[in-house]
Structure 1
Amino acid sequence: MTPLRTLVLVLGDQLDLDAAAFDGFDPAQDAVWMAEAAEESTHVWSSKQRIALFLAAMRHFAEALRAAGRPLHYRRLDDPGNLGTLAAELQASLASLSPQRVVMTAPGDWRVWQSLKAVVERAGLVLDVREDRHFFATVREFAAHAKNRKSLRLEYFYRELRQRHGVLMEDGGPVGGRWNFDADNREAFGSEGPGLVPPRATFAPDAVTREVLALVETRFAQHPGSLASFAWPVTRAQALTALQAFIEERLPLFGRYEDAMWPGEPWLYHSQLSAALNLKLLTAREVVHAAEAAYRAGHAPLESAEGFIRQILGWREYVRGIYWTQMPGYLERNALDARHDLPAWYWTGDTDMACLRDALTQTLAHGYAHHIQRLMVIGLFTLLLGVRPQQVHAWYLSVYVDAVEWVELPNTLGMSQYGDGGLMASKPYVATGKYIQRMGNSCAGCRYDPAQRIGERACPYTTLYWDFLLRHEKLLAGNTRMAMQLKNLARLNDADRAAVRQRAEEIRAAATAAP
Structure 2
Amino acid sequence: MINAEAIEMKNSAILRLILGDQLNINHSWFKTVDDTVTYVMMEVRTETDYVHHHIQKVVGFFSAMRSFAAELQSKKHSVIYIHLNDATNLQSFEKNLNAILSQGNYTQFEYQLPDEYRLDGLLKSYCNQLSIPYSVYDTEHFFSTREELGDFFEGKKMYLMESFYRNMRKKHNMLMEGDKPTAGQWNYDGDNRKKLPANHKPTAPLVFNNEVTQIVSELKSTAISTIGTIDENNFVWPINSEQSLALLDFFVAECLPLFGSYQDSMVPNEWSLYHSRLSFSMNVKMISPKEVTDRAIQEWEKRKDEIDYNQLEGFVRQIIGWREYMRGIYWLKMPEFASLNFLNHTEKLPNWFWTGKTKMNCLKDAITQSLDYAYAHHIQRLMITGNFALLAGVHPDEVDAWYLGIYIDAIEWVEITNTRGMSQFADGGIVGTKPYVSSASYIDKMSHYCGSCFYKKALKTGEKACPFNSLYWNFYDKHEDKLSKNPRIGMMYNVWRQMKPEDKSALLEQADYYLKNINAL
**What TM bracket, shorter-length normalisation?**
over 0.9
Question: Could you give the per-residue CA deviations for residues 458-490 of structure 1, whole angstroms, max 9, x where no partner exists?
Answer: 111111111000011121122111122222222
Q: TM-score, normalised by structure 2?
A: 0.94
3-state secondary structure, aligned to 2:15: strand
Residue 138 of structure 2: aligned partner: 131
Is 1:475 matched with 2:478?
no
One-letter amino acid matched to 1:211 = Q
Kindly tell me: are residues 329 and 269 of structure 1, through their superposed partners in 2, closer, same or farther at Cα, counting changes over 3 Å? same
Residue 423 of structure 1: aligned partner: 430
Structure 1: gaps spanning 5 or more residues: none
Whole-angstrom distance in 2 between the partners of 1:241 and 1:23: 22
Is 1:284 matched with 2:289?
yes
Kindly tell me: are residues 191 and 8 of structure 1, through their superposed partners in 2, closer, same or farther at Cα, counting changes over 3 Å? same
8 A Cα contact 2:49 2:224, kept in partner: no
Percent pairwise identity: 37
Whole-angstrom distance in 1 between the partners of 2:31 and 2:242: 25
Instruction: Pick which of 24-33 and 497-506 moved more.
Output: 24-33
Instruction: Pick which of 115-124 and 325-334 moved more.
Output: 115-124
Residue 207 of structure 2: aligned partner: 202
Q: What pairs with 1:31-430 in structure 2 (closer than 5 Å)?
A: 31-125=38-132, 127-192=134-199, 194-195=200-201, 197-206=202-211, 209-219=212-222, 222-228=225-231, 230-297=235-302, 298=304, 299-430=306-437
Residue 12 of structure 1: aligned partner: 20
Kindly tell me: are residues 233 and 498 of structure 1, through their superposed partners in 2, closer, same or farther at Cα, counting changes over 3 Å? same
Kindly tell me: are residues 41 and 475 of structure 1, through their superposed partners in 2, closer, same or farther at Cα, counting changes over 3 Å? same
Question: Could you give the per-residue CA deviations for residues 408-438 of structure 1, whole angstroms, max 9, x where no partner exists?
Answer: 1101100000110000111111110111111
RMSD of the TM alignment (CA)? 1.9
Shift of 1:24: 8.1
Instruction: Pick which of 120-129 and 401-410 moved more.
Output: 120-129
3-state secondary structure, aligned to 1:72: strand
Instruction: Pick which of 490-499 and 345-354 moved more.
Output: 490-499
3-state secondary structure, aligned to 1:352: coil
3-state secondary structure, aligned to 2:517: helix
8 A Cα contact 2:238 2:244, kept in partner: yes
Is 1:496 matched with 2:475?
no
Whole-angstrom distance in 2 between the partners of 1:327 and 1:232: 30
8 A Cα contact 1:48 1:220, kept in partner: no
Instruction: Pick which of 356-365 and 221-230 moved more.
Output: 221-230
8 A Cα contact 2:107 2:133, kept in partner: no
3-state secondary structure, aligned to 1:191: coil
Instruction: Pick which of 169-178 and 497-506 moved more.
Output: 497-506
Aligned residues: 509
8 A Cα contact 2:25 2:286, kept in partner: no
8 A Cα contact 1:90 1:116, kept in partner: no
Whole-angstrom distance in 1 between the partners of 2:118 and 2:49: 14
One-letter amino acid matched to 1:286 = E
Whole-angstrom distance in 2 between the partners of 1:360 and 1:238: 27
Shift of 1:221: 7.2
8 A Cα contact 1:48 1:217, kept in partner: no
Shift of 1:109: 1.2
Question: Could you give the per-residue CA deviations for residues 352-402 of structure 1, whole angstroms, max 9, x where no partner exists?
Answer: 111100000000000000111010001100011000011101110101000
Whole-angstrom distance in 2 between the partners of 1:444 and 1:127: 60
Kindly tell me: are residues 390 and 25 of structure 1, through their superposed partners in 2, closer, same or farther at Cα, counting changes over 3 Å? farther
Question: Could you give the per-residue CA deviations for residues 56-75 of structure 1, whole angstroms, max 9, x where no partner exists?
Answer: 00000010110111111111
Whole-angstrom distance in 2 between the partners of 1:213 and 1:301: 43
Whole-angstrom distance in 2 between the partners of 1:302 and 1:264: 29
Whole-angstrom distance in 1 between the partners of 2:105 and 2:342: 47
Kindly tell me: are residues 503 and 271 of structure 1, through their superposed partners in 2, closer, same or farther at Cα, counting changes over 3 Å? same
8 A Cα contact 2:161 2:325, kept in partner: yes
Question: Could you give the per-residue CA deviations for residues 305-326 of structure 1, whole angstroms, max 9, x where no partner exists?
Answer: 0000000000000000011111
3-state secondary structure, aligned to 1:489: helix
Shift of 1:82: 2.0
Matching residue within 453, 459, 464 for 2:466: 459
3-state secondary structure, aligned to 1:31: strand
Whole-angstrom distance in 2 between the partners of 1:251 and 1:273: 13
8 A Cα contact 2:67 2:239, kept in partner: yes
Shift of 1:329: 1.2
